[in-house]
Homo-oligomer: A and B are copies of this chain.
Amino acid sequence: MAELTYRDAVARGIAQEMERDERVVFLGEDVGKPGGVFKATVGLYEKFGPKRVRDTPISEQAILGAAMGAAMTGLRPIAEIMFSDFLAVCFDYIANEFPKSRYMTNGQLGCPLVVRTGNGAGSRFGAQHSQSVENWAMMIPGLKVVAPSSPADVVGLMAAAVRDPDPVIMFEHKSLYATKGEVPDGEILDTLGKAKVLREGKDATIVALALMVPRALEAAERLKAEQGIDCEVIDVRSLVPLDTQTILGSVGKTGRLFTVEENPRLCGWGAEIASIVADEAFYDLDGPVVRITTPHIPLPAADNLEDIVLPTPGRIVEKITRSMN
């Protein structure tokens, strides 16, 4: 057991898999010699050499396309798209190529690869470098989608993603890179499709992801202390496959659902989960299903504006308090 940053957990997770399997290769912009612009892949180039850790031109379509061609013919590539906002310049691979080739070919071809990308706000980078875009991947049939909130999950989900025979998009949160957490020694292998109940509670269920997880936990503590509202907090971790059992089970117990998501309001994962609950757990519900999201606007750069645009523990507390009374 050692304390590790989320950032270092990325390199550790990749290294673990590259050591295990020669077929695992890693490519992206400035990921090799420079160790990545978020310094999340420092040391991999030195350890695994230029044949397995490759710097590319600024050609995101070539990066994802090459990853797919390699995956389809025998390698297990990990591709970095530096900021998740840039998925827009190579979206054809996300939307039309990776997720459809197995189906269209009646199972002849597979696409076992991982795309990892820096997601989310908090760095005052403005509208084109701060978005949370998990739903861009979640909405596409045929992908798997994970977004870890802790260093241990980073390592374990990375391993699960690399070993998974399907294309997995992994959203790392930029504002979590500097956070620390205990990570067990030795090989770590987690499972895709398992949510985690991080706090048990009986009055309401809060479902959160990535950076919103610590905020939801903080809100839950305050709700308990200040209002006596006892919230269960679930870290979704994996959007596809989605652990609806854990979520529906929790709502069955608490009778209330609040989702806390960073992506802008419309058609986010919160809407998906809220809709599933409003359908399948309707008779368990004691009150409205409430989504707490970033407002449906582009993101501002200025620090004071960015600080209030995402859901904060204070806003979570306020929304839940108001809705529970």
Which residues of A does B touch, CB under 8 Å?
A: 85, 88-89, 91-92, 94-96, 99-100, 103-104, 126-128, 133, 135-136, 138-142, 240, 263-264, 266-272, 274-275, 277-280, 282-283, 285, 287-291, 296-298, 300-301
Contacts and interface: CB of A to CB of B under 8 A. Distances in A.
B279 A100 contact: no
In the complex, the count of this chain's copies comes to: 2
A291 to B, nearest CB: 6
Given A85-B95, A89-B91, A267-B267, 18 more contacts: A88-B92, A91-B91, A100-B298, A103-B127, A104-B126, A136-B136, A139-B264, A139-B268, A141-B296, A141-B297, A142-B297, A240-B266, A271-B274, A275-B278, A275-B291, A278-B278, A278-B288, A283-B288
Nearest to A288: B282
Contact of A100 (B127, B136, B138, B140): B127
Given A91-B89, A96-B88, A266 B298 contact: no
A272 B282 contact: no
Nearest to A277: B278
A245 to B, nearest CB: 17
What 10 pairs across the A-B complex have the smallest Cβ distances?
Answer: A278-B278, A282-B288, A91-B91, A139-B267, A271-B271, A274-B275, A88-B92, A103-B298, A278-B289, A88-B95
B96 A85 contact: yes
A267 B100 contact: no
A304 to B, nearest CB: 15
19 contacts: A85-B96, A88-B95, A89-B91, A91-B91, A91-B92, A91-B95, A96-B128, A100-B127, A100-B298, A104-B301, A136-B136, A136-B139, A141-B298, A142-B298, A270-B275, A274-B275, A275-B291, A278-B288, A282-B285
Contacts of A99: 298
Contact of A135 (B139, B274, B282, B296): B139
Contacts of A282: 285, 287-289
A103 B300 CA distance: 8
A139 B142 contact: no
Contacts of A136: 95, 136, 139
A270 to B, nearest CB: 7
Contacts of A277: 278
Contact of A279 (B96, B266, B274): B274
Contacts of A126: 104
A136 B135 CA distance: 9
Contacts of A279: 274, 288-291
